[in-house]
Structure 1
Amino acid sequence: MKNLFRSYFESFGGLRKEIWLLSVITLINRAGTMVIPFLSLYLTKSRGFSLEEVGWILTFFGLGSVTGSWLGGKMTDKIGHYRTMAISLIGSSFLFVLLQFPDSFWTICLGIYLVMTVADIFRPAVFVAISAYSKPQNRTRSVTLIRLAINLGFSAGPALGGIIIATGGYSGLFWVDGLTCLAAGILLLKLLHPKRSIPEPEEIIVDAKTAISDRLYLVFIFAMMIFGFIFIQYFSTMPLYYAESHQLTELEIGLLLGLNGLAIFLFEMPLIKFMENRKHTATGYVILGTLLSGLSFLAINLTDWVGILMVGMLLVTLGEMIAFPFSNSFALNRSDGKKRGSYMALYSIAFSVSHIFGHNSGMQLIDNFGFEITWYTMFGLALFACTLLLILNSLLKKESSGVHSN
């Protein structure tokens, strides 16, 4: 047991102090975004909007995320990751506080759009910061540590948010969100100076290639959109399946979803350290992660045994633990010597687009064809994404051999 614990903690070794500081800032920021999990409840119970109106408001949520990711990439290439993150954290702190005041449909749509635009400027910048503060050989584990901070933040945030709503109502939620974002921004300014970064040319690149002109990278991004599309079903349509087809209670559904976060917390970093030491390409690992996620949908269609739901959750969690860090690492490595902000912006946008279309499309498929056909469709999409990535792998080998021959 002692060796097991030692091995676990050793998997965190070798990461620079700045990466740990960045993860703490990310943890505070993500734990602070408590409004997000309670947005639907706030809009229906406190503001009295219909489900259809809430659906459209959440569409503006997704559109703001896309805009913010794009703008964050532009700003990162123009003014650097440090100032971009500071602007996002401090700007969103004020906007979260102000979001409690609009009361009409269109003013709330505008408010949500602005909040998400400013908040998600942070996403491409933090990915670029990972590259700036970490050694190249530790990039994947650095990404994993940031993911761990995000998952812990998303776990703690809703629990704390529920307590705040129970004691002080929804208004308290907006104030705490704003103050935590401000605290994260102050920590960034005080502790994470850009002079501590490993010198890289990304912030002074003028004529370098942008992501939109990199055709192979666009193939990768399209595959990630498909992966994001199927992955988010586990947090929108799958809970409906748990309740309607297997009659699970809210508590049982919560525990099953909680298994995802617990497994990531316990196993992702040791798993990534183990896989990093194997001689496989990042895209090869992304293919494995995508396939495992797709197999989770196939598995739950094969039997009515309730235990298969846990098998499915473990499969998609394992797929997530492999696909996300290595896809992020591929994007960072692909952007070396280029306009890194544009690359990481496109990577973030891939998942923002998945949120815009994935939830609604999944609901429509279930409504028209039922759960079984929907899950087979998700498995088919996973196979399609794997095929794209296999083609990409082949093209990358040709590109690499062409470079070496020159």
Structure 2
Amino acid sequence: MKLFNYLYYNLGHGYINTFRGLSKEVWWLALVTLINRAGTMVIPFLSPYLTTNLEFSLDDVAWIMTAFGLGSIAGSWIGGKLTDMIGYYKVMIFSLLLSGLLFIGFQFLNTFTSICIGIFILMTVADMFRPAMFVALSAYSKHENKTRSVTLIRLAINLGFSAGPAIGGLIITTMSYGGLFWVDGITCMIAAIVLLNVLHPKKVKILDMEINPNPKSAYKDKPFLIFFFAMVIFGVVFLQFLSTLPYFYKEGVGLSEFEIGLLMALNGILIFVFEMPLIKWLEQKGYTKVGLMIFGLLLTTVSYLFLMYNTLIVLIVVSMIIVTFGEMIVFPFSNAFSLKRSKRGLQGEYMALYSIAFSISHVFAHNLGFQMIDSLGFDNTWILMVILGCIGLVLLILLKKFMKSNSEAQ
């Protein structure tokens, strides 16, 4: 009984306290994101689906994933523009409803050209949601709660992601890949329905109405551009998690689809348990956002060194744990950095550029990863990821020094 009381008051109660102070609108946005993300179980299994079911070569898959990234760039840019023009609410509704229909239709494409075009259109529509959601998150959050609000959204994303691959693996095993596309589409439309009912502009309370009367262009903000390129590199390194790593787990390690789903679910479970307390603890320590991003990228980079020992399953699991903690640190604080910086100009433009950084990563990450694996093997691919991670670290260190010399908040 004493042990139970200790765990409740010192761990459970403390964990619950990390969520206090967040607005109900942020909680509703997190629920919408959870529903939407729980359905995106197709993405981690996209490369196995293309190689196993449709029998495409690795070279074909690399170019299909490039179309994936180009669609993401287009969607982020259009979403940012539309958010500044017509508002985040309308953009989010449109994106969720139409991407739901497109997910269902995607399963009927089976030629290389049709899949490239289809994935480009699908990602264009789906990723319009991201800059709109970030601006909505900023509007629904007090200044002091923005990083934790971002973390709650990420918690919802990863909770959905932890359930999605595990369920996806079961669907593939018992039914087929086609069932995944139906689930993806339906959950997107359910998320839109929830959004319509709980976050209609007439029902919500705006907590941050700060607007710069003389907005500056994000494309002329030098520190933000250094940050942008660092995030592109981080994205290239991290996004192997969505494409080449599942392929590596299957072909390089010999795991089944269900085992891959469980391993990737570990990522979401760790984030669910540790991210919010970790972020609150790091905020209380007073570390700078840029300094924390440097540490997070360092962890992400180091994780690839463990993949070279693919005969030891325990090291594969350790690699997943390390990259997860790197992700936990980089994403919330990079997002918070962007939200704060966006007050200098049009928020949609800043948050679109932040999203585009990862969209560009999609263009290069998957193609580069598969091309490297095909020509040089797994180990050399992981070495290249380590080198790229070090370049990203140099950029973030330069950003930290640049902001310090100009007496800007980091």
Give the TM bin, normalised by the shorter chain.
0.7 to 0.9
Cα distance change on mapping 1:338 and 1:176 into 2, 3 Å: same
TM-superposed deviation, 1:385: 1.3
Pick from 301, 320, 328 the counterpart of residue 294 of structure 1.
Answer: 301
Aligned ranges for residues 309-388 of structure 1 at < 5 Å? 309-388=316-395
Residues 231-274 of structure 1: CA deviation (Å, up to 9, x unaligned): 22344444565566666666655444333222111101110011
Partner of 1:257: 264
- Out of 52, 73, 89, the residue aligned to residue 82 of structure 1 is 89
How many Å separate the matches in 2 of 1:312 and 1:167? Answer: 29
| Partner Cα distance (2:341, 2:253) in 1 | 44
| In structure 2, distance between residues paired with 1:108 and 1:261 | 29
TM-score (norm 1): 0.88
The C-alpha deviation readout for 1:32-75, integer Å capped at 9, x for no partner, is 23443444455556656555444433322221111101111111
Distance in 2 (alpha carbons) for counterparts of 1:176 and 1:309: 29
2:250 and 2:256 in contact (8 A); partners too: yes
Superposed, 1:5-404 pairs within 5 Å as 5-40=12-47, 42-43=49-50, 49=56, 51-161=58-168, 172-194=179-201, 195-202=204-211, 208-238=215-245, 253-299=260-306, 307-400=314-407
Q: Secondary structure at the match of 2:406?
A: helix
Structure 2 CA distance for partners of 1:64 and 1:290, relative to 1, 3 Å: same
Matched residues, number: 400
C-alpha spacing 1:102/1:386, structure 2 compared with 1 (3 Å): closer
Question: C-alpha deviations, 1:325-353, integer Å up to 9, x for none?
Answer: 10111011111141111111111111122
> Hey, what's the Cα distance between the residues in 1 that align with 2:399 and 2:299?
19
Contact 2:65/2:367 (<8 A) preserved: no
Identity within the alignment, %: 55
Q: Partners of 1:239 and 1:39 in 2: how far apart?
A: 9
Change (3 A) 1:249 1:166: closer
| C-alpha separation in 2, matches of 1:307 and 1:339 | 47
Q: Within 2, Cα distance between the matches of 1:242 and 1:100?
A: 24
What TM-score does the superposition give when structure 2 sets the normalisation length?
A: 0.87
Offset, 1:382: 2.0
Deviates more, 1:367-376 or 1:61-70: 367-376
**2:286 aligned counterpart, secondary structure:** coil
Deviation at 1:284, TM superposition (A): 0.8
1:198-253 Cα distance to aligned partner (Å, 9 max, x none): 24244xx6751121121110100101111111122344444565566666666655
Structure 1 CA distance for aligned equivalents of residues 371 and 178 of structure 2: 34
Instruction: Kindly indicate whether the alpha-carbon contact (under 8 Å) linking 1:201 and 1:337 is maintained by their aligned counterparts in 2.
Output: no
Q: Secondary structure at the match of 2:390?
A: helix
Higher mean C-alpha deviation, range 163-172 or range 372-381: 163-172
Q: CA RMSD in A?
A: 2.9
The CA distance in 1 between the partners of 2:167 and 2:147, in whole Å, is 30
CA distance in 1, matches of 2:168, 2:52: 16
Contact 1:164 1:170 (C-alpha < 8 Å) held by counterparts: yes
Deviates more, 1:265-274 or 1:209-218: 209-218
User: What SS does the corresponding residue of 2:21 show, helix, strand or coil?
Assistant: coil
Deviation of the 1:185 alpha carbon: 1.3
CA drift of 1:164 comes to 5.3
Structure 2: which 5+ runs fail to align?
A: 1-6
* CA deviation after TM superposition for structure 1 residue 296, in Å: 2.1
Distance 2:23 2:377 in 1: 49
CA distance in 2, matches of 1:6, 1:230: 36
Deviations 1:156-205 (A, max 9, x none): 23444455566775555444433322221122122113352224244xx6
SS at match of 1:177: helix
CA displacement at 1:286 relative to structure 2: 0.2
- State the distance in 2 between where 1:178 and 1:241 align: 27
Distance 1:251 1:107, change over 3 A: closer
Q: Which one-letter code corresponds to 1:197 in the other structure?
A: I
CA 278–81 in structure 1, closer or farther in 2 if over 3 Å, else same: same
Moved more, 19-28 or 256-265: 256-265
